[in-house]
Structure 1
Amino acid sequence: MHNKSTIEEIEARFDKDVARFSNLETGQQTTLDASFTMELITDGIAAMDPHPKRILDIGCGAGNYPVKLLSKMITNPDITLADLSQPMLDKARERIQPLTTGMVQTVKGDFRTIPLEENSFDAIIATAVLHHLRDDVDWETAFARLYHLLRPGGSLWIFDLVAQEHPAIQGLLFKERYGHYLASLKDATYRDQVFAYIEQEDSPRSVMYQANLLKQAGFRSVDILHKNLCFASFVAFK
């Protein structure tokens, strides 16, 4: 665990990768069902609350999810964007501000500690970000913070790399099946490069671990939306 990338190292990698994360059609190519899940989550937010006032996107990257969400909104919510990378935040604001008359605020830093108003957000988007958490304390702190940031009745929408509880199933779904997918994108060398930075940067947990922890944090219910191999999307309601 102590050999994992630091927050600063992860920030530096994403600073150099803005263009790849600005593709609304493909999203992150290494992420299974990226476009499908973006549609699913943004449709879900719009269905849950057609007139949201405040949306928070943590680890927003170049802003794909708010861009897609605002195309489905008839109102103009305020959007708060949080990310480690300033270049990502700059690109996200550039893309999102023309789409809403609401305020677009960017906040650079770790979502667990940056200044954000509690009990104020109608929906929080957390896509491809929580897998960067480390030990149980990190996960508990993160879910507690997200719970307190939501207004009563608000919802948290997660899409992320997940682990499997059983080592044999982890090997099958991640190393074998997901590995085959990565190799099909380019070649075995590319697959190994992706596996290497996942090993260096990421500490994913299982869907059940996260669902149970969300309940412990105070969320009243959790719904699983979609799972394909080692990627899953789910929503929690305050």
Structure 2
Amino acid sequence: MPIDEMNSKHDKVHHVFQTIYKKYDFMNSLISFNRHKSWRKRTMQLMNVKKGRSAIDLCCGTGDWTLALGESVGPNGHVVGLDFSDNMLEVAKMKLNETNLQNVELTQGDAMSLPFDDNSFDYATIGFGLRNVPDYLTVLKEMFRVLKPGGMAVCLETSQPTLPVYKQMYFFYFKNIMPILGKIFAGSYKEYVWLNESTQNFPNKQKLAELFKEAGFRDVEITSFMGGIAAVHKAKK
């Protein structure tokens, strides 16, 4: 992607999440029929996170996955949640303050240029955030870089159903219904139009698996949810 286009997407996405942060959790539950929580829970089961390990959660948003990772690694582990929206991080900080977790750090930063050394983490996750970055491959390469040898990268993201009729219904919902829900419940029609566009343009699960391999990962595994509405990609360094 040309530099100008990358900068334009960066600015647009930043505006979207700086705008919708107050209603983000509510809208996630509404739009996904509350399934996003069960998808993340199943993803954590697939990861089988070990106590005492370290993790970085990219594009952590309001922090739900970050906090779940903090619980899983235990008091001797360490988790970093990173996001470029300070408004989203403020919500995450409020959630963190309501817990007893002392092993979670929230920081503002860019997923395309992580402020961490090579080989720093055992796990690197990104949930419903990869589709919003200017360059998917750059982020996957950054995840690969900061992971320790043998470390695990996990992406939970919207995907594209392939079954006839179901596929058409899915795209109709995202294109026509979701922005209206955004307008009614969050006062953010244009922002949810953008989220639909980012979903439509995101690679399907096979193409995303190839990007993982191009970034250097091995043993890429795919798990689909609800006929392909969402998918987990799990891979090793």
> Which bin holds the TM-score, normalised by the shorter protein?
0.7 to 0.9
Q: 1:99 to 1:124 in 2, by over 3 A?
A: farther
Residue 213 of structure 2 corresponds to 215
Letter in 1 for 2:154: W
CA distance in 1, matches of 2:51, 2:73: 8
The SS at the match of 1:62 is coil
CA distance in 1, matches of 2:50, 2:20: 33
Coordinate RMSD, CA, aligned: 3.4
Between the two proteins, what is the percent identity of the paired residues? Answer: 18
Question: Aligned to 1:40, which of 35, 39, 42?
Answer: 42
Pairing 1:1-238 to 2, within 5 Å after superposition: 6-22=9-25, 27-31=28-32, 33-45=35-47, 47=48, 49-96=49-96, 98-106=99-107, 108-134=108-134, 138-163=135-160, 169=162, 172-180=165-173, 183=177, 196-198=193-195, 200-201=197-198, 203-228=201-226, 229-238=228-237
CA distance in 2, matches of 1:144, 1:222: 14
CA distance in 2, matches of 1:85, 1:3: 17
CA distance in 1, matches of 2:223, 2:52: 21
The structure with the greater share of residues assigned to helix is 2
Q: Tell me by how many angstroms 1:4 deviates.
A: 9.9
The SS at the match of 1:19 is helix
The SS at the match of 2:155 is strand
The SS at the match of 1:55 is strand
CA distance in 1, matches of 2:12, 2:45: 34
The SS at the match of 1:57 is strand
TM-score of the superposition, structure 2-length normalised? 0.77
Q: Tell me by how many angstroms 1:64 deviates.
A: 0.8
Consecutive unaligned residues in structure 2, runs of 5 or more: none
CA distance in 1, matches of 2:113, 2:178: 39
After superposition, what is the alpha-carbon deviation per residue over 1:47-69, rounded to whole angstroms, capped at 9, x for unaligned?
Answer: 2x322432111110110112233
2:70–2:79 CA contact under 8 A, matched in 1: no
CA distance in 1, matches of 2:31, 2:225: 15
TM-score of the superposition, structure 1-length normalised? 0.77
CA distance in 2, matches of 1:120, 1:233: 23
CA distance in 2, matches of 1:132, 1:78: 26
Q: 1:201 to 1:214 in 2, by over 3 A?
A: closer
How many residues are matched?
A: 225
